[in-house]
Structure 1
Amino acid sequence: MRLDRSIRTITNTRILDPETETLSEPTTIRISHDRIVGIGGEAPADRDAVLDAEGGIACPGLIDGHVHVLADTADLGRLGETPPSYITATAINSMQDALRRGFTSMRDAGGADFGLARASEEGLITTPRLFYGGKALSQTGGHADMRAPGTAVMDHHQCCPHLGVVCDGASEVRRAARNQLRTGAHHIKLMLSGGVASPTDRVDSTQFSDDEILAAVEEAEAANRYALGHAYTARAINRGLRLGVRSIEHGNLLDQESVRLLREHDAFLVPTLVTYERLHVDGAANGLQAESQKKVEDVLHAGLEALRLADEGGVNIVYGSDLLGDMRSWQSHEFAIRARVQSPGAVLRSATTTAARLLQAEGELGTISEGAHADLLLLDSNPLEDVSTLSEPDSSIRHIISRGGLLAV
């Protein structure tokens, strides 16, 4: 996989604006290095540097706001026993697969580190832009504590590919947050409730004390970053929002108070509905442990209703997939699921402009405008009419431009 950087101009293309839900008249997009430097005007004389879109639609590159690029299995406890070199190789493959689906940026919600992000940024590997938080923070017995009930030893080494680190008490949480921020992390991930893939916690539990959550939030804000919180129940969601967590991951069991707090704090909700559908069908084949398989039912059917409540309540909603192992091939199917309760424009904004705001990259990602990063897709059909077409990227995406280069496989 490589990027062809000879293309400097895209002609005869209609630009899709997710915010206004409009298409422009056929126009020209001019690119220099990694930026869009102009829209409109005449095509250059050098035709070798021109890509004729033939009337196709230019859509901003897609953003997945919740991935785990290291998670090549649903048996997350096994990751720490896998050589980091092997996990890195599988991560690169999964990121390249995501780029082929049109995802030009991704936010890792636990596990990815500065090495992968740096290699991607420097062009050593051809992948989406990677926003990482390092290891997620978990209390003992929390969602990132992958020890079985009979296991006592916890490996705290930074080098090992666990998705999280266990820390207890405000001082330990503060130190753990600072350690991730020290590496250049874009955000801090907190486990605010139980989850599906962890072996010993209940989905309906709350995790971390108020002081512990505040410690992480304060450290993230001090570094001009933010905290995101894994949370399912309204109790866990609402508590995290009141304490300053900026984005809620999953949120399947939210309530009207959650919607109010999300609006009040201008916070973000990142549903991940496709992962529950696939865990229900393919979880066992991908290593999901028996105790975790039982917990899938707790959240499987509630997510769509939570999405509907949040959408009707005007919440900032971001696209997320959260798929593990071979199930990551279903990444684009989230578009079809959300289309059941959201308008095409709302779904598209969740994967472009709204996601860019969450990533603190507004005006640089999720938009086709002068000065923005040159990340865009050329489509044959209009996703504002049927956004579910993006669920089939092989047939809906004609070309992918990432970091100013045309993707060539």
Structure 2
Amino acid sequence: MPPTTRYSLAPAFSAQHRPNNHGSCCCGSPVLQHFHERVMAEIARREMLGGSAAVMALFAGVHTPHVVDQPSKSHDGSVLLTNLKLFDGSGGPLRDGVSVKVEDGRVSAILEGNAGAESGDVIDCDGRVLMPGLIDAHWHSTLAAITQMEAMSADIGYIHLVAAKEAERTLMRGVTSVRDVGGPSFALKRAIDEGIVNGPRIFPAGAMISQTSGHGDFRMRHELPRGSTTPLSYTEQQGVAMIADGEDEVLRRTREQLMLGASQIKLIAGGGVASFYDPLDSTQFSERELRAAVEAAGDWGTYVMVHVYTSRGIQRALRAGVRSIEHGQLADEETVRMMAGEDVWWSLQPFLQDEDSNVYPDAARRESQRQVAEGTVRAYEMAQRFNVKTGWGTDILFNPQQTPNQLHHLAKLTRFYDPLTALAMATGRNGELLSLSGPRNPYPGVLGRIAPGALADLLVVDGDPSKNLDFLKDPERNLRMIMKAGRVYKDCLQQ
């Protein structure tokens, strides 16, 4: 019988794991630090001698160096998590007296007691809570950690490098999956899937599709008018957004995103708070244009989601067959009843004009922000009263100062829901929302749940989610283990 071994992997190259005053850092290996110093010195040398091309040549064909301990594995390749309290993602109460077995990147069994702990790899959770990895259903992987001006003007290589670093930080906050709702995230998704960089699973929408003058039209006034031979704007060239007017153009842009690998399609159906041009109450895209995208996505087995706030815009989107309403805080009761009747998802964000909000210098946008904040309170009340399927997301966009506070947006949901229901929204419920992609789902399998056959995205936390979600406000301290697809990216259980 093979001896019991502890499954442990020191996290590589993570800013979340630099030494800190919390005592939760679990790397800082001298070998890793030496490697980092050598790489940075070589980058500086090459930049001086040959510019950026010489720097990029340094990484051509390079694989991650073996500078960290690899996880120990038992003969059957399984790992058993024991001595835990289980939150399975359903919203039900915590369970005691069970263990969770993981094999080949999936949960293979939930066992009574410590059955199977006598052999193989064992993770002792020391009485802590085991829960599914978190899912942010409204995230901008390549746009969250840069400013809007950088998105419109910076070298695209810089934008992608920042996005890769932010993807690693996102994973180290315990967010193991995101639904990307607009931006050039296809390359980042591929790099994560291939193990080149660390990050969450990405369900990409590609470029957000907007009408002229819509919320996704980032052009300056001097770039108008647009002629038949006018080149695409910079943000269009880089895949941040695409402008489409008329059914034919909407069809083309939708099909382009599907060709690139979109798991769902994002359209802009109304104004926004941050907009320079389009007012919050504006309705965008005709019903025929929206339906063109819905039909094109449906032909590929997936769906359309829309950015929209107002009742008029939501109702138009529902008539066109849209399956997910993003935001919608200005919906009236009639519209919410329609959403429930059509069985669509309401992807809400707790926009409350608080310390986590964007700061706007002008009175007009602050007033729009106030309206949305007031509507947020009504929206959560109506979503529950009419039993609308509700997802959780953050929509942190062009705001690098706020990305570390991603989980604040989940903790504050306890204003509207009991803690376990709120946590289920960010795990099991969001997993159901992601499954709308059908055959375009890039990660077939159950996400957001701990059940036999589910993908093994797991967190071990210090905190009691049956009482509150405050522990999420400090993920560096309170997330003791982070696992994605059966691989451990952070293990501080013995500290």
Instruction: State the TM-score, normalizing by the size of structure 2.
Output: 0.76
Aligned to 1:182: 259
Query: Is it true that 1:237 corresponds to 2:308 in the alignment?
Result: no
Query: Is it true that 1:101 corresponds to 2:173 in the alignment?
Result: yes
Distance 2:110 2:147 in 1: 47
Distance 2:487 2:362 in 1: 41
Aligned to 1:141: 213
CA displacement at 1:60 relative to structure 2: 0.8
* 1:6-85 superposed matches below 5 A: 6=72, 8-19=79-90, 21-40=92-111, 41-46=115-120, 49-72=121-144, 75-76=147-148, 78-85=150-157
Give the residue type in structure 2 aligned to 1:238: Q
Structure 1, unmatched stretches of 5+, are none
Give secondary structure in 1 for the equivalent of 2:410.
helix
Distance 2:374 2:146 in 1: 20
Aligned to 2:425: 350
* 1:5-404 superposed matches below 5 A: 5-6=71-72, 8-19=79-90, 21-40=92-111, 41-46=115-120, 49-72=121-144, 75-76=147-148, 78-152=150-224, 155-156=232-233, 160-161=237-238, 163-274=240-351, 276-278=353-355, 280=357, 282-284=358-360, 292=365, 295-324=368-397, 325=399, 326-360=401-435, 364-404=446-486
User: Residues 169, 278 of structure 1: CA spacing in aligned structure 2 closer, same or farther, 3 A cutoff?
Assistant: farther
Aligned to 2:488: 406
Supply the RMSD in Å over aligned alpha carbons: 2.5
Distance 1:312 1:304 in 2: 13
User: Residues 323, 289 of structure 1: CA spacing in aligned structure 2 closer, same or farther, 3 A cutoff?
Assistant: farther
Give the residue type in structure 1 aligned to 2:466: L
Distance 2:86 2:450 in 1: 7
Give secondary structure in 2 for the equivalent of 1:22.
coil
Q: Percent identity?
A: 34
Distance 1:254 1:28 in 2: 44
1:237-260 per-residue CA deviation (whole Å, 9 max, x = no partner) reads 122122211111111111112221
Give secondary structure in 2 for the equivalent of 1:217.
helix
Higher mean alpha-carbon deviation, 239-248 vs 145-154, is at 145-154
Distance 1:293 1:177 in 2: 33
Does the CA contact (< 8 Å) of 1:106 and 1:131 recur in 2?
A: yes
Does the CA contact (< 8 Å) of 1:11 and 1:50 recur in 2?
A: yes
Give the residue type in structure 2 aligned to 1:302: G
Structure 2, unmatched stretches of 5+, are 1-10, 13-67, 74-78, 436-440
User: Which structure has the larger Rg over C-alpha atoms?
Assistant: 2
Flag as ranges the 4+ runs of structure 1 deviating above 6 A: 288-291
CA displacement at 1:290 relative to structure 2: 8.1
1:374-400 per-residue CA deviation (whole Å, 9 max, x = no partner) reads 101112322122134323323432211
User: Residues 74, 123 of structure 1: CA spacing in aligned structure 2 closer, same or farther, 3 A cutoff?
Assistant: closer
Does the CA contact (< 8 Å) of 1:76 and 1:146 recur in 2?
A: no
User: Residues 374, 279 of structure 1: CA spacing in aligned structure 2 closer, same or farther, 3 A cutoff?
Assistant: closer
1:186-217 per-residue CA deviation (whole Å, 9 max, x = no partner) reads 10001010112232101100000111000001
CA displacement at 1:55 relative to structure 2: 1.6
Give secondary structure in 2 for the equivalent of 1:264.
helix
Distance 1:160 1:329 in 2: 29
| Length, aligned pairs only | 403
Distance 2:473 2:462 in 1: 14
